[in-house]
């Protein structure tokens, strides 16, 4: 048994960034163990993405082809990945914490009776045991836990997006591409995806934005978001929100930042009336600078912020926005 097997994800523009991140994580683990890094790419996009996967750190690519993989059905993808596992017999299987990976990782682990670590942000190899030690936020980000896998079975890890920096594409890297037909039985697809409805976001995507303006319960209602949109427009940024305001229906859930919302990594995150609960910070802690406007000097957000004003946003924001506008236009 040996080797690290990555569950690859392919989008319209080829290899997804999460897969490059997983390959970087795999290379990090392999530096300690010497294990080979294999990635399974499923479906018709696999061949086109293979060379990129090698350039990003894979030693070997399984291009997994089956009629059932033409449609993105989770049950078929799990069956295909399991078949690759039987071939590769990995000691480590890596998934991204994506809508697909967050479910398939645990399901694979349970099928094999082995452990799985969810939402990992750091992974190392214990030099004494050769087993993986994973760091994961728990209790909504209030604490960090280090976990390891007893015994000698497969170790399944689900990795938080943007937790690992991808390697630059190195086109001089070489690797092997194997075409693999798992021969899936159509009856394995029991939960069937029938439709996907995408919420189109206007302007800059929240996840990619360099400037984010976030509103929390302290802004008091849906109307005040217009002011935040205005500020975001001036700065060429995007608007985000806490779960409290999404649950209250002041803004759509697609704006939610946090543990169960989006992860943002802007240069500057301007928060207005957000208390800074750990579950919110879980989605924005990697922001380079957090600015807090909150009337409670003891609010948790000030512990994570670089700059802050203690005050009522109704008094602070008009002059702040006006001055920002003048500065940006000058």
Partner 1 sequence: MGIKIVVCVKQVMDPETPASAFKVDSDTNKVIPAQGIPPVVNGFDENAVEAALRLKDSTEVDKITVISVGNNFVMDVMKKPLSMGADELILVQDESVSELDAFATATTLAKAIEKVGEYDLILCGRQASDWDQAHVPLGLAELLGLPSITLAQKVDVADGMISIQRSLTDGYEVVESQLPAVITVSNELGEPRYPNLRGIMQASRKTPTIWSAADLGLDAESLSPRLTLTELFIPVSDKRVEIIEGEDEADAGRKLALRLREEKLI
Ligand X SMILES: Cc1cc2nc3c(=O)[nH]c(=O)nc-3n(C[C@H](O)[C@H](O)[C@H](O)COP(=O)(O)OP(=O)(O)OC[C@H]3O[C@@H](n4cnc5c(N)ncnc54)[C@H](O)[C@@H]3O)c2cc1C
- According to the binding rule CB under 6 A, does residue 97 interact with ligand X? no
The residue from 204, 279, 280, 287 that contacts partner 1 (CB under 8 A) is 279
Q: Mind giving me the DSSP string for 77-106?
A: HHHHHHHHHHHH--SEEEEESSTTHHHHHH
Shortest spacing between CB 146 and ligand X, in angstroms: 21
- According to the binding rule CB under 8 A, does residue 143 interact with partner 1? yes
Which of the choices partner 1, ligand X, none does residue 286 contact, using the CB cut-off of 5 to 8 A by kind? none
- According to the binding rule CB under 8 A, does residue 308 interact with partner 1? yes
Nearest to residue 201, comparing CAs of 173, 153, 160, 238?
238
With contacts defined by CB under 6 A, name the span among 54-62, 121-129, 149-157, 254-262 that binds ligand X. 254-262
Q: Is 309 exposed, middle or buried (0-12, 13-18, 19+ CB in 10 A)?
A: middle
Mode of pairing for the β-strands spanning 143-148 and 132-138: antiparallel
Query: Looking at beta carbons only, is 101 or 175 nearer to partner 1?
Result: 101
Query: Looking at beta carbons only, is 83 or 264 nearer to ligand X?
Result: 264
Shortest spacing between CB 191 and ligand X, in angstroms: 24
- According to the binding rule CB under 8 A, does residue 117 interact with partner 1? yes
Q: Could you give phi then psi for residue 60, rounded to 5 degrees?
A: -145, 140
From residue 183, how far is each of 165, 214, 319 by CA, in Å? 35, 48, 65
The residue from 193, 208, 222, 296 that contacts partner 1 (CB under 8 A) is 193
Shortest spacing between CB 164 and ligand X, in angstroms: 21
Query: Looking at beta carbons only, is 19 or 279 nearer to ligand X?
Result: 279
- According to the binding rule CB under 8 A, does residue 115 interact with partner 1? yes
Mode of pairing for the β-strands spanning 4-7 and 37-42: parallel
- According to the binding rule CB under 6 A, does residue 7 interact with ligand X? no
CA-CA distance, 56 to 28, in Å (whole number)? 12
With contacts defined by CB under 6 A, name the span among 37-45, 117-125, 193-201, 275-283 that binds ligand X. 275-283
- From residue 41 to residue 80, what is the string marking binding to partner 1 with x (rule CB under 8 A)? ----------------------------------x-----
Query: Looking at beta carbons only, is 138 or 193 nearer to ligand X?
Result: 138
Q: Which of residues 205-234 bind partner 1 (CB under 8 A)?
A: 211
Sorted by sequence, the CB contacts under 8 Å of residue 179 that are 6+ apart come out as: 63, 65
Sorted by sequence, the CB contacts under 8 Å of residue 278 that are 6+ apart come out as: 139, 140, 141, 142, 300
Instruction: Say if residues 105 and 78 touch (Cβ distance below 8 Å).
Output: no
Q: With CB under 6 A, what is the number of residues at the site for ligand X?
A: 28
């Amino acid at each position: 048994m040996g080797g690290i097997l990555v569950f690859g994800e392919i989008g319209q523009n080829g290899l997804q960034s999460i897969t490059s991140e997983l390959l970087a994580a795999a290379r990090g683990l392999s530096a300690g163990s010497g294990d080979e890094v294999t990635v399974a790419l499923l479906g018709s996009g696999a061949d086109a993405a293979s060379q990129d996967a090698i350039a990003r750190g894979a030693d070997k690519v399984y291009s997994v082809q089956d009629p059932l993989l033409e449609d993105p059905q989770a049950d078929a993808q799990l069956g295909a990945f399991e078949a690759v596992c039987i071939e590769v017999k990995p000691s480590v299987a890596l998934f991204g914490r994506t809508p697909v990976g967050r479910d398939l990782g645990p399901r694979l682990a349970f099928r094999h009776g082995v452990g799985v670590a969810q939402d990992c942000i750091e992974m190392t190899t214990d030099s004494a045991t050769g087993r993986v030690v994973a760091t994961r936020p728990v209790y909504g980000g209030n604490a960090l836990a280090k976990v390891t896998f007893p015994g000698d079975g497969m170790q399944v890890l689900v990795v938080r997006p943007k937790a690992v920096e991808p390697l630059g594409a190195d086109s001089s890297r070489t690797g092997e591409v194997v075409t693999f037909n798992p021969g899936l039985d159509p009856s394995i697809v029991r939960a069937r995806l029938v439709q996907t409805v995408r919420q189109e976001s206007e302007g800059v995507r929240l996840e990619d934005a360099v400037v984010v303006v976030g509103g929390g319960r302290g802004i008091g209602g849906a109307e005040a978001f217009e002011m935040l949109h205005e500020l975001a427009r001036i700065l060429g940024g995007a608007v985000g929100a806490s779960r409290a305001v999404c649950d209250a229906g002041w803004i759509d859930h697609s704006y939610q930042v946090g543990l169960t919302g989006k992860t943002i990594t802007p240069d500057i995150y301007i928060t207005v009336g957000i208390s800074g609960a750990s579950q919110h910070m879980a989605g924005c802690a990697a922001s380079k600078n957090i600015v807090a406007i909150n009337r409670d000097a003891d609010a948790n957000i000030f512990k994570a912020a670089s700059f802050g004003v203690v005050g009522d946003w109704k008094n602070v924001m008009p002059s702040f926005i006006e001055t920002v506008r003048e500065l940006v236009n000058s």
